[in-house]
Amino acid sequence: MTGQTLIHLQDVSKRFVKGKDTITIFDHLGLSIPAGDFVAVMGPSGSGKTTLLNLLGGIDQPTEGSITFDGGRVDTLTEGQLARWRAHNVGFIFQFYNLMPTLSAARNVELPLLLTSFSRAERKRRVEAALSLVGLAERADHYPREMSGGQQQRVAIARALISDPKLLLCDEPTGDLDRTTADEILAMLRLLNQEMGKTIVMVTHDPEAAKYARRTLHLDKGRFTERELVA
């Protein structure tokens, strides 16, 4: 299933300056993620998991080193270019779903499409398709507060998918859900990886969740220790 390199981090360093102190999160880190991969990232709190996702998703820039996506450099883009790049290439899924409470499910899913030139009718068609894909076609007009956590996360997945990005980044996507619901969401992510070829990087604390991935990266003190999963 996996193929050419989609994301490549080379000699990436990331430092935060806090007052007089400089915190080094990554020091000359390297990482390659092939297209179609499903990577779980685990590690203790503060080990830099979220920072890694931010770098992969073009939300934050490395202090040093290069990040390549689909053969093109990402770390050299300006803020505005990055925003457009994210809109086309990355779907984000958050622990707390991050839906707009004042918008219906359909309007939430539509958000990324507002940055495209699709017509209103085309946007509507795509939103319906995405909501059907996550099994929420009937919930289009419902507001987030009227839905369970699992349903909200499925709306968030539909939103992440709507502009057909190659990469999905998930930060603790099941961290706020019970086991059964978590398994539903994880099964859905696996399906997206296997059937639609989405490349997924998922940060999780939950070893059970990591089992859905093709491989797990352990992040500790800014270094990876990779372990292939036993099938």
Partner 1 sequence: MRVFNEIAVVTTICIKSIPQRFWASFSTVVAVGLVVTVLLAFLAMAAGFQQTLRGTGTKDMAILMRAGSQAELNSGVTRDQARLIEEAPGVMKDADGKPLVSPELYVIVDGVKKTAVPADGNLKKAPRSNLTLRGLGPAGIAVRPGLKIVEGRAFKPGTNELMVGRALQKDFAGLNVGDTVKLGNSNWLVVGAFELGGSVFESELWADTPEVQDLFHRQNVFQSIRARLTGPDALKALSDYAANDPQLKLDVTTEADYYAQQASRTSDLIQKLGWPLAIAMAFGALAGALNTMYSSVAARAQEIATLRCIGFSGTSSFIGTLLESLVLALVGGIVGTLVTWVLFDGLTGSTLSGASFSQIVFTFHLTPAVAVQGIILALVVGLVGGVFPAWRAARIPIVEAYGTP
Residues that bind partner 1 (CB under 8 A): 50, 54, 57, 59-60, 80, 83-84, 86-88, 92, 94-96, 98, 100-103, 107, 111-112, 114-117, 159, 171
Site string for Mg ion, 45-64 (x = CB under 5 A): -----x--------------
Which of 155, 123, 122, 120 is CA-nearest to residue 138?
A: 155
Beta strands in the chain (DSSP E): 5-18, 21-34, 38-42, 64-69, 72-73, 90-93, 167-171, 199-203, 215-220, 223-228
95 near Mg ion, judged by CB under 5 A: no
Interacting stretch for ligand ADP, rule CB under 6 A, among 40-48, 101-109, 180-188, 222-230? 40-48
User: Which residues is 90 bridged to in the sheet?
Assistant: 167
Which partner in ligand ADP, Mg ion, partner 1, none is near 107 (CB below 5 to 8 A by kind)?
Answer: partner 1
Residue 59 tokens, joined: 């939300």
199 near ligand ADP, judged by CB under 6 A: no
Q: How far is the CB of 45 from ligand ADP (least distance, A)?
A: 4
Q: 33: Cβ–Cβ under 8 A, 6 or more apart, which residues?
A: 5, 6, 7, 8, 39, 199, 201
Interacting stretch for ligand ADP, rule CB under 6 A, among 48-56, 93-101, 138-146, 150-158? 48-56
Give the three-state DSSP class for 18.
strand
CB nearer to Mg ion: pick between 162 and 189: 189
Q: How far is the CB of 17 from ligand ADP (least distance, A)?
A: 8
Phi-psi category of 194—alpha, beta or left, where left has phi over 0 and alpha has psi -120 to 50? alpha
